[in-house]
């Protein structure tokens, strides 16, 4: 099999593609022949040893994938050879064959492509959990999404609109806002040209935004928090801007609002039944065409550096995939 290997921490160009022996499943495991691999911004960090998950060298990056079961280990009865599945690991997915446990895999419904399924798990899984379990978003509420054209951002836009919210897409250029509007956003704010707080206030008639989804951090976090409604919910998703904001907590007092951390990976371990239920919803919505799950680019496995640099340069509108 072919595998992308990180042998020393560094930029995407430091990765190598090697031929390794095909794996065999152990007891309670299966082998999946991978068709597509989903990439995420944190993959650009983990290969530089700048992420909270710190695997020992050497390792394969990437977490999510789709493909077909090709071999079963002893005791596996939930799956059969030939089943189409998607799944998520902490790392190790950037290879043409993966060993996984059945509880790490989800059946891909008929009518949904491997391409779409491979890009749903982390970005849409994170956003679904954030809006459903953490914010408890209600139909008719206003949702502002920062970084609205990126992987988790566009997922939040689509899911928020599907859940009946009025979505305000916040991004750094008109084309990114237009992209978000094509995926369900009702309004847009170009925070490279306008004051984020003032514009969010204007668009809500001075009342403020009821739910803020922030995967960006940096200076935009406080500006957005200052535009939150009374008893609003501020979702801390990540820090793509690079800087972890230091928020004045008196704002939470004055706004009567909640600042909610979203650690999707830990939640999937803490409540696996709810996570599996969420995944069933997402896959069904995607199959039925209720989620577009837009793919920005499909890049051959051998060109993994090219694919990751799309994320490094913040160019992605939707998902970047590797073709195994």
Domains of the chain: 2-119+295-323 (3.90.180.10), 123-265 (3.40.50.720)
CB 116 within 8 A of CB 286: yes
d(CA 190, CA 172): 5
Cβ-in-10-Å burial (0-12, 13-18, 19+) of 202 comes to: middle
The per-residue pLDDT for 186 is: 98
- Which two three-digit tokens encode residue 290? 């209720």
Residue 241 has pLDDT above 90, yes or no: no
pLDDT tens, position by position, 120-175? 999 999 999 999 999 999 999 999 999 999 889 999 999 999 999 999 999 999 99
Give the pLDDT band of residue 307 (cuts 50, 70, 90): very high
The per-residue pLDDT for 86 is: 97
Residue 13 has pLDDT above 90, yes or no: yes
pTM of the entire structure?
Answer: 0.92
How large is the average pLDDT for residues 44-63?
A: 95
Give the pLDDT band of residue 318 (cuts 50, 70, 90): confident
Helix axes 151-162, 174-181, angle to 10 degrees: 40
Q: What share of the chain in percent tops pLDDT 70?
A: 100
């Amino acid at each position: 099999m072919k595998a992308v290997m990180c042998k020393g921490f560094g930029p995407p160009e430091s990765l190598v593609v090697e031929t390794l022996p095909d794996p065999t499943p152990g007891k309670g495991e299966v082998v999946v022949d991978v068709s597509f691999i989903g990439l995420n911004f944190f993959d650009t960090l983990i290969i530089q040893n700048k992420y909270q998950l710190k695997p020992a060298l050497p390792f394969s990056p990437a977490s999510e994938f789709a493909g077909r079961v090709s071999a079963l280990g002893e005791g596996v009865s939930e799956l059969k050879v030939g089943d189409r599945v998607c799944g998520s690991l902490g790392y190790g997915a950037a290879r043409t064959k993966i060993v996984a446990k059945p509880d790490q895999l989800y059946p891909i419904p008929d009518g949904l492509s491997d391409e779409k399924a491979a890009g749903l798990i982390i970005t849409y899984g994170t956003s679904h959990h954030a809006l459903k379990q953490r914010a408890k978003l209600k139909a008719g509420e206003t949702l502002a999404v920062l970084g609205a054209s990126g992987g988790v951002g566009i997922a939040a836009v689509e899911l928020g609109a599907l859940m009946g919210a009025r979505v305000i897409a916040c991004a750094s250029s008109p084309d990114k806002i237009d992209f978000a509007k094509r995926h369900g956003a009702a309004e847009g704010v170009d925070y490279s040209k306008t004051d984020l707080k003032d514009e969010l206030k204007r668009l809500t008639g001075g009342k403020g935004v009821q739910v803020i989804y922030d995967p960006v951090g940096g200076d935009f976090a406080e500006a957005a928090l200052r535009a939150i409604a009374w008893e609003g919910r501020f979702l801390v998703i990540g820090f793509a801007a690079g800087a972890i904001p230091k928020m004045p907590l008196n704002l939470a007092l004055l706004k009567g609002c909640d600042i909610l951390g979203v650690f999707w990976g830990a939640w999937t371990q803490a409540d696996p039944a709810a996570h599996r239920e969420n995944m069933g919803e997402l896959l069904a919505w995607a199959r039925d065409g209720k989620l577009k799950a837009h793919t920005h680019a499909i890049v051959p496995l051998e060109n993994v550096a090219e694919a990751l640099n799309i994320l490094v340069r913040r160019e992605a509108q939707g998902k970047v995939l590797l073709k195994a």
